[in-house]
Chain A
């Protein structure tokens, strides 16, 4: 799955650690999701979408 997490984070000038703290996950999780090593669960995808005030489809898309 592709995602725009890195771009959205950069637009807000957030580090991975900043985003991790906002999502209450590890920085390693944010890195793994951004780089496509890990696809988040649906609850976490919703939390990410809520944080950026977007829909899941606006952040995540099929390969």
Chain B
């Protein structure tokens, strides 16, 4: 038992800012990198570079989350498991995505194999969604759980709003088409924004 009377660890604000910045930067960097990759015609070398960038961002995200959790005294077992699951799912996603695209372009996949490649690429992302659900189920601390649920609802609401508005803008040919898999990065962006907005609010 510590005798410290400090209510808030000194590292708390800095670690929170770092995590929020990485959460917001994560989808922006990935989407921006994807757009740059397509616009600049960087080829396979560019794609490998993009994957390396994505892996660096993933490691940065997990490390920032763990540092903040430790600084705030909320590094719960459920949160640690969540971080590990997300890390594994992210790495699998990047590897399978690369292989699927490579196979599609060079091995001219068709029929059931093409379906399998597409589903295999989506599978790790479903793993991320499963990890989020497990976090809510396994988190025994009611306050932390309420925060997670609130952030998830904000992210989901933001995703529905953006998706609906963008859908109609796209319908009237005012904006370009966005692939449906963009929902997860947009949801993650919503989580980051909610983390900033509701940090000091009554739960």
Chain A interface residues (CB < 8 Å from chain B): 10, 13, 15-18, 20-21, 25-29, 31-34, 36-38, 40-41, 44
Provided the pairs A20-B73, A37-B203 are in contact, do residues A29 and B143 lie with their beta carbons within 8 angstroms? Answer: yes
CA distance A20 to B2 in the complex (A): 12
Judge whether B73 and A27 touch: CB under 8 Å.
Answer: yes
Interface stretch, picked from B4-12, B26-34, B86-94, B186-194, is B4-12
Instruction: Kindly identify which residue among A13, A37, A44 contacts B3, using a CB–CB cutoff of 8 Å.
Output: A13
Interface size range on B against A: 20 to 34
Judge whether A17 and B5 touch: CB under 8 Å.
Answer: no
CA distance A33 to B76 in the complex (A): 18
CA distance A63 to B99 in the complex (A): 59
CA distance A26 to B202 in the complex (A): 17
Q: Which label, helix, strand, loop or mixed, suits the secondary structure of the A interface?
A: helix
- B201 neighbours in A (Cβ, 8 Å): 37
CA distance A32 to B12 in the complex (A): 14
Q: Offer 5 A-B interface pairs, CB within 8 angstroms, sorted by A.
A: A10-B5, A15-B3, A27-B72, A31-B8, A34-B7
Judge whether A18 and B72 touch: CB under 8 Å.
Answer: no
CA distance A38 to B145 in the complex (A): 12
Closest to A23 in B: B141
Judge whether A21 and B1 touch: CB under 8 Å.
Answer: yes
Say if the beta carbon of B171 comes within 8 Å of chain A: no
